[in-house]
Amino acid sequence: MTQLSMAQALNAALRDAVKDDDRVVILGEDVGALGGVFRITDGIAADFGDDRCFDTPLAESGIVGFAVGMAMGGFRPVVELQFDAFAYPAFEQITSHVAKMRNRTRGAVALPMVIRIPYAGGIGGVEHHCDSSEAFYTHTPGLRVVTPGSAQDAYDLLRDAIDSADPVVFMEPKNRYWTKESVSFSRDSAPMDQAVVRRPGRDVTLIAYGPMVATALETAEAATAEGWDVEVVDLRSLSPFDDVTVSASVRRTGRAVVVHEAAGFGGYGAEIVARVTEQCFHYLHAPVLRVTGLDIPYPPPKLERHQLPHVDRILDTIARLQWQDQPVVASA
């Protein structure tokens, strides 16, 4: 076990993948000498050579489209799209080609590639640097979408994503980049498709992912003072969605709150609520509620604290789960 920040864990995952598999190449804007604007690719070009980690022209569609061709040519490209909202020029390549090549060619051409997108807010970034764009990608069949909530998961999920036979949109929560944790490189974590119960509890399930996992855990601690025993499920994989782990948790607790930073309307949380309602209806003591970002364009840095779900807002929502004044008890 080594103490690493999430950024360092991602760097370690990339290094190990490049070392273990000749086909793995890292490309994008600034990934070479600079090591990425967040230093995720720090030192990789220097240690493994320019042909394994290289800078491209500044053109997001170009980076992804070029990587499609490289994947067709037998490589496993890992591309970095510098910020969430700067990934939009590549949206057509991602949705029309990366997601569909296997299907278009009836299995003859697969595109094992990873598209890394630093996303979400909480870092005081200016306009276009803090979007939560996960719903665009999860709504696209053919893509896998994963997001780590911890340094350990960052390592494990990125290794799995690079090994995946399918293209993976890998969403990195920027505000967690600098959080240090013990990280093991043994790769004995849950498989990439699987959600994980981060904290067991009896009364309510908080469903979170990426940047909100830490907030959910913090909320769970605070909730004990209110008499709530909160379970936290970290989804890890947004697509596919792990109905089994989530449903099992909600059936145990009978109450659920979904937390994410992205705008709520038409957002990923709506999908979770629908699935939980369909599968756990008779176990529920209250409607499944959401705590999401506001339905506004991402605000300027000095106002972003109003956008981001925070502990008090989540606690207030948990309090609303005492539907019809039902007592808070453990359910069967």
Partner 1 sequence: MVVAMPRKNPAELLPSATPVRFVAEDASAVDEHDGYAEPPGDRLRKAYRLMVIGRRFDTQATALTKQGRLAVYPSSSGQEACQIGCAMALGPADWLFPTYRDSVALVARGVAAPEVLTLLRGDAHCGYDPAAVRVAPQCTPLATQTLHATGLAYALRRRGEDAVVMALAGDGATSEGDFHEALNFAAVCDAPVVFFVQNNGYAISVPLEKQTAAPALAYKGIGYGVRSEQVDGNDAVAVLSVLDAAVAYARAGHGPVLVEAHTYRIDAHTNADDASRYRDPAEVQRWRAADPVRRLEKHLLERELLSAEEVERFRADAEQYAADVRAALNTEPSLDPLSLFDNVYARPTRLLTAQRAQVAAELKEES
200 binds partner 1 (CB under 8 A): no
* Active-site position among 128, 129, 260, 285: 129
- Give phi and psi for 234, each to the nearest 5: -100, 115
241 makes contact with partner 1 (CB under 8 A): yes
Q: Does 61 bind partner 1 (CB under 8 A)?
A: yes
Cα 5 to Cα 2: distance, rounded to the nearest angstrom: 10
Among 15, 24, 42, 75, interactor with partner 1 by CB under 8 A: 75
* Residue from 92, 278, 312, 316 in contact with partner 1 (CB under 8 A): 92
| Distance in angstroms (rounded) separating the CA atoms of residues 133 and 92 | 14
- Structure-token pair, residue 300: 């300027």
User: Cβ(202)–Cβ(255) under 8 Å?
Assistant: no
User: What contacts 279, CB < 8 A, 6 or more positions away?
Assistant: 243, 247
* Nearest residue to 298 via CA among 262, 252, 256: 262
Number of other CB atoms surrounding residue 18 within 10 Å = 23
User: Quick one: which of 19, 20, 49, 103 contacts partner 1 (CB under 8 A)?
Assistant: 103
Judged by CB under 8 A, does residue 301 bind partner 1?
Answer: no
Q: Which of 260, 253, 164 is nearest to 207 (CA)?
A: 260
Query: From the CB of 196, what's the least distance to partner 1, in Å?
Result: 17
Interface region with partner 1, contact rule CB under 8 A, candidates 130-138, 240-248, 286-294, 303-311: 240-248
Question: In this chain, which stretch among 59-67, 183-191, 304-312, 323-331 interacts with partner 1, using CB under 8 A?
Answer: 59-67
Q: Is 282 a catalytic residue?
A: no
Q: Which amino acid is at 164?
A: S
For residue 327, state whether it binds partner 1 (rule: CB under 8 A): no
Residues 19-58 touching partner 1, rule: CB under 8 A, are 27, 50-51, 54-57
Tally of helices (H runs) and strands (E runs) in the chain: 11, 14
Candidates 230, 231, 236; CA nearest to 209 is 236
Q: CB-wise, 65 or 264, nearer to partner 1?
A: 65
Contact flag: residue 151 with partner 1 (CB under 8 A): no
Q: Looking at residue 285, what DSSP letter applies?
A: S
CB-nearer residue toward partner 1: 14 or 71: 71
Chain residues binding partner 1 by CB under 8 A are 27, 50-51, 54-57, 59, 61-62, 64-75, 89, 92-93, 96-97, 100-110, 141-142, 144, 164-166, 193, 240-241, 243-244
